[in-house]
Amino acid sequence: MKNYTKYKAYETIDLPDRTWPSQKIKKAPKWCSVDLRDGNQALVTPMGLKEKLQFFEFLVRMGFKDIEIGFPAASDTEYEFTRALIEGNYIPEDVTVQVLTQSRGKIIQKTFEALRGVKKAIIHLYNSTSTLQRDVVFRNSKAETIELASFGAKTIKNLAEQYPESDFTFEYSPESFTGTEMDFAAEICNAVIDIWQPTPEKKVIINLPSTVEMSTPNVYADQIEYMCRNLKNRENVLVSLHAHNDRGTAVAATELGMMAGADRVEGTLFGNGERTGNADILILGMNLFTQGINPQLDFSQIDDIIEIYEKSTRMPVHPRHPYAGELVFTAFSGSHQDAIRKGMAAMKKHRDFWEVPYLPLDPQDVGRSYDPIIRINSQSGKGGVTFILEQNYGLYLPKDFQKDVGKVITDFSDQMQTEITPETIYNVFLENYVDIRKPLQLNYYKTRTVNEDWNVVAIEAEIEFHGEKHYIEAEGNGVVSAFCRGVQDIVGAEINIVDYRGHSMEYGTKARAISYIQMKDNQGNKFFGAGSSSSVGKSSLRAVVSAINKMLSAS
């Protein structure tokens, strides 16, 4: 860590009369989702056409009016996606798609070709302006950098006139804005504004990206306020933010940038993007919501957002993610639970506004349910059921097992049409998963090691299958493996163990072991079973028998 000396502090700007610290955010910005561009290009496995279309439609349902759909001149895939949206009439009247382009003639030309027939679109022009990019990557002077931006702006303006059937909005980004001298950033943006000549009816967007987050959020706010003061024709310019998260403060930087005068925000759901990601629009929107401001986006069913995000990106949402994480409304501490219970009771009596200790948001406002007394009903998921089984009965189920148990419990609750107690949850769990003995039953067994390395185990056992006794002998790399080999011919099914876990538990007066087995059949269907005993070995075999019986009953 002594290498800190090779880094230098980021320089602040001289803005002694800054006004943003005393400002308040009073309304939502104009949102622009860049999930299908910044988000998609950052994925290990980018979305296919079908996934992109589904994600686009979901963003529309959430309420996004500006959606960046890609860089159509950069690849055939993004070109085809743009055409699919237009030709398939996927774009609603009140939604504007946004496309990215570099300041190069052929690329701009192809961008317009990709948009042929679109009703409304934002043409997003960018070029790098930072000192580092100018000196190291492009080796351009300030004048050459301005000339490049001006060329792109003129080309876009001229080409737009050739597509009178389309309503185009122009956007310019000085890429790596945070690494650019502020006077030069204003100069190049004003050069573009002079070319585009915005009007009240035809505003332009000046997007100021924190392409690499280089400083504390207050410095970004100073930069935004400086630009808002120094941009020409400011009343006809939408100042847009596009913060990245290299320092982990993209949300804070965006909020301070809004206080500094920005009108618009580009970001992604859950902050997905290159490196450490982009500003998280879900957090930004819910932060507004919990301050009594309409976010103009629909987060009321947050689990639906998580589902399509995880399916499309193949990345999980962190369990501690603000507002959306699986555990954010769960209190494990007894003192927290007590405070929440008292707060909920007070809310029922006389509170006009939501005020509950440890819960800045009513979980029901995002489609979640939570009660500090721990109640489970048909609306509950695996999180609540798992919490009860862990806290009340010392059962720590593997993740996939949790999902299966959660569905069984909620289905049971739905049938009963009532709340169910922790004791009922435990009994339903026992009945459905633990020590199931029909049609297969284990009567007794014994094991021995076959070699000196203890890596081969032989088992001899008596089992009953549909009431008929069988004697088996088999070998495997463990007692579970050996038993499965010995029994599968008798039950007439191949046994594929996917996961095996176990732990000790203490419930009542006897310390016992419990084992969990997950297996699958040849069609990929999953089956779960559990076994309990004072013996670890016996609990594991009972778990296997339970899972086999679950599989047989399903066939």
* CA 192 – CA 185 distance, rounded (Å): 11
Whether residue 302 sits in one domain with residue 341: no
For residue 118, which amino acid is it? V
Q: Which domain holds residue 360?
A: 333-373
Whether residue 338 sits in one domain with residue 307: no
Residue 541 domain-assigned?
yes
* CA 383 – CA 330 distance, rounded (Å): 9
Residue 4 domain-assigned?
no
Q: What is the pLDDT of residue 372?
A: 40
Residue 408 domain-assigned?
no
The ranges of the chain with pLDDT < 50 are 334, 371-375, 378, 508-509
Domain end among 341, 373, 405:
373
Q: What is the pLDDT of residue 432?
A: 95
Whether residue 285 sits in one domain with residue 367: no
Whether residue 183 sits in one domain with residue 134: yes
Cα–Cα nearest to 391, from 331, 335, 433 = 331
Q: What is the pLDDT of residue 555?
A: 76
Global pTM exceeds 0.85 = no
Whether residue 186 sits in one domain with residue 151: yes
Cα–Cα nearest to 185, from 130, 253, 222, 251 = 130
Domain end among 313, 347, 382:
313
Whether residue 243 sits in one domain with residue 356: no
- The dihedrals phi and psi of 505, each to the nearest 5 degrees, come to -140, 160
Cα–Cα nearest to 536, from 501, 484, 486 = 501
Read out DSSP for 264-323? EEEEBGGG--STT-B-BHHHHHHHHHTTT---SS--SSHHHHHHHHHHHH--PPPTT-TT
Residue 492: how many CB atoms within 10 A of its CB? 9
* CATH code (residue 133): 3.20.20.70
Whether residue 295 sits in one domain with residue 194: yes
* CATH code (residue 458): 3.30.160.270
Whether residue 369 sits in one domain with residue 275: no
Residue 414 domain-assigned?
no
Residue 415 domain-assigned?
no
Whether residue 338 sits in one domain with residue 271: no
Whether residue 363 sits in one domain with residue 248: no
Whether residue 338 sits in one domain with residue 290: no
With tokens 């948001």, the residue in question is 361
Tokens for 345, please give them: 């009771």
Whether residue 356 sits in one domain with residue 249: no
Residue 239 domain-assigned?
yes
Residue 399 domain-assigned?
no
* CA 371 – CA 330 distance, rounded (Å): 9
Residue 116 domain-assigned?
yes
Distances (CA, A) of 113 to 21, 86, 148, 168, 518: 45, 12, 22, 13, 53
Residue 40: how many CB atoms within 10 A of its CB? 25
129-165 tens-digit pLDDT: 988 888 888 888 999 999 999 999 999 999 999 999 9
Number of domains in the chain: 3
DSSP state of 28: -
* CA 432 – CA 290 distance, rounded (Å): 41
